[in-house]
């Protein structure tokens, strides 16, 4: 038996884009709306972002269910496109919706973590350059300042960005996000803009003198070399500078890894920037850190001869003997969470941190339904249990982890994946929008009530 401190927060996460749909207020188009309009066939079962969980209509019942499970805290996000549908003018109906939404969590005594940007780039912003545009960054600051003024300490924790570089890697080097191009130079410009926007928001936040903390949620898919070869070890070091520790360091306290500067110079890939902007980035300081962890990255040196930038020389490869989630093709390796906890303790000033997302997506969960109609997701319970064990081990060794959020509270729409792989503690029926607890919800409820894990 392993017991967590009574103050250890156990909860769940969702996002606006993945749960709100068009909703009950006006909302501007996002890049995912545009992507679905252009290529509905790329989205699983041609399910787009129009409805998702329809949470703007169902939030009171949903939050009632969250309270039944017993969440200590909860993370979701504001929609920039809902609050500023045209990028210029505030929509008062949207403002009032979020007040009501937040109030419902407060009534249930659930701490609230609100993200300012979770993959939902407004289409108007994309059209003028996305994060490479200083105009977009300035309008993002206007939106953020509005949120800080309007909602203030109604929020317990603010988050600037969730998984900041995922839209870059998946949209500018892959086809999973819009605009679905493969352009490393533009990817670097977008990434620098995100770093700059993050730092500027933190500086703006200080002017509001709020009690709420502000931080970052970063997807740290811990990096290992695929083998002990010198080339794989060097590949993992460079990959880490581009994907994991490198960007995390920039957004943690403004430290830019020399590997990034040297390799970008070598390929003539440095982004456009000014000395003033670099100075702003060096002033970065967050209050807490959220970590999303699903799988590790085992990096192998394998040149593809494109010779555009150094990252063309590396691939991620899963060992043949690894434990796999067959539905996602992701390696299951809870032990990396302990290493992350120790990294944060030893190299990140032991900043307060929590697991902001950790979960298991499974396709076709209906086949696990019992005679009473409940999905018996023992695989999800086992996944959470094993990862929580590693978190507790890190806590016992002095890492300052204050909580764990499962992804997700409810089955969410997941971009091109739509509802193919389900992650929720609560099942969503797409035909009638009804909700039902899975077995994991009852397990998680017991965990929250007792703060105890059983390791037998």
List, in order, residues 6 or more apart from 386 with CB less than 8 Å away. Answer: 332, 334
**What's the CA gap between 174 and 184, in Å, rounded?**
10
Question: Would you call 45 exposed, middle or buried from its count of C-beta atoms within 10 A (0-12, 13-18, 19+)?
Answer: exposed
436 in Cβ contact with 62 (< 8 Å): no
**What's the CA gap between 420 and 122, in Å, rounded?**
25
Give the closest residue to 444 by CA, choosing from 395, 394, 387, 398: 387
**What's the CA gap between 268 and 310, in Å, rounded?**
11
Active-site residue set: 163, 357
114 in Cβ contact with 159 (< 8 Å): yes
Helices H / strands E in the chain, number of each:
16, 19
Give the closest residue to 355 by CA, choosing from 1, 2, 4, 9: 9
In the block, residue with structure tokens 């068009």: 22
In the block, residue with structure tokens 């009690």: 211
Interstrand relation of 9-13 and 73-77 (parallel, antiparallel or unpaired): parallel
Question: Would you call 213 exposed, middle or buried from its count of C-beta atoms within 10 A (0-12, 13-18, 19+)?
Answer: middle
Interstrand relation of 426-428 and 435-437 (parallel, antiparallel or unpaired): antiparallel
Phi then psi for residue 319, to 5 deg, are -60, 150
Instruction: Determine the 3-state secondary structure of 305 from DSSP.
Output: coil
Q: Kindly state the DSSP code that residue 95 receives in the 8-state scheme.
A: H
List, in order, residues 6 or more apart from 313 with CB less than 8 Å away. Answer: 235, 301, 302, 303, 304
Q: What DSSP element (H or E) covers 430?
A: none
Q: In whole angstroms, what separates CA 450 from the centre of its chain?
A: 27
**What's the CA gap between 113 and 155, in Å, rounded?**
7
Give the closest residue to 313 by CA, choosing from 321, 322, 304, 325: 304
153 in Cβ contact with 208 (< 8 Å): no
């Amino acid at each position: 038996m392993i017991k967590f401190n009574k103050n250890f927060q156990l909860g769940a996460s969702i996002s606006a884009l993945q749960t709100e749909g068009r909703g009950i207020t006006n909302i501007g188009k996002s890049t995912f709306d545009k992507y679905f309009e252009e290529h509905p066939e790329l989205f699983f079962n041609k399910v787009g972002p129009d409805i998702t969980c329809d949470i703007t209509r169902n939030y009171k019942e949903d939050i009632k269910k969250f309270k039944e499970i017993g969440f200590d805290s909860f993370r979701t996000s504001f929609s920039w496109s809902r609050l500023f549908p045209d990028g210029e003018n505030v929509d008062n109906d949207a403002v009032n919706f979020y007040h009501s939404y937040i109030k419902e969590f407060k009534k249930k005594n659930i701490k609230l973590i609100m993200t300012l940007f979770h993959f939902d780039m407004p289409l108007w912003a994309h059209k003028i350059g996305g994060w490479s545009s200083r105009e977009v960054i300035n309008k993002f600051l206007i939106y953020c300042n509005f949120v800080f003024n309007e909602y203030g300490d109604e929020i317990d924790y603010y988050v600037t960005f969730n998984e900041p570089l995922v839209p870059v890697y998946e949209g500018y080097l892959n086809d999973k996000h819009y605009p679905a191009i493969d352009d490393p130079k533009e990817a670097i410009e977008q990434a620098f803009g995100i770093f700059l926007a993050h730092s500027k928001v933190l500086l703006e936040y200080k002017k509001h003198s709020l009690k709420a903390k502000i931080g970052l949620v970063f997807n740290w898919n811990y990096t290992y070399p695929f083998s002990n070869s010198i080339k794989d070890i060097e590949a993992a070091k460079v990959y880490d500078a581009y994907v994991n520790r490198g960007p995390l360091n920039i957004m943690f306290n403004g430290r830019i890894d020399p590997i990034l500067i040297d390799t970008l110079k070598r390929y003539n890939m440095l982004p456009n920037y000014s000395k003033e902007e670099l100075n702003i980035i060096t002033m970065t300081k967050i209050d807490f850190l959220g970590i999303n962890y699903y799988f590790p990255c085992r990096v192998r040196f394998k040149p593809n001869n494109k010779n555009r930038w150094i990252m063309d020389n590396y691939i991620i490869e899963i060992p043949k003997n690894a434990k796999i989630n067959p539905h996602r093709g992701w390696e299951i390796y809870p032990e990396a969470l302990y290493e992350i906890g120790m990294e944060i303790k030893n190299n990140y000033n032991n900043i307060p941190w929590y697991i902001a997302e950790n979960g298991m997506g499974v396709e076709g969960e209906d086949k696990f339904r019992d005679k009473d109609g409940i999905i018996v997701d023992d695989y999800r319970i086992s996944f959470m249990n094993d990862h929580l064990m590693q978190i507790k081990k890190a806590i016992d060794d002095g890492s300052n982890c204050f909580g764990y959020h499962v992804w997700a509270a409810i089955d969410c729409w997941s971009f091109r994946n739509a509802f193919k792989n389900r992650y929720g503690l609560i099942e969503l029926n797409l035909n009638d929008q009804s909700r039902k607890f899975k077995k994991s919800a009852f397990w998680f409820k017991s965990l929250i009530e007792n703060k105890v894990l059983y390791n037998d």
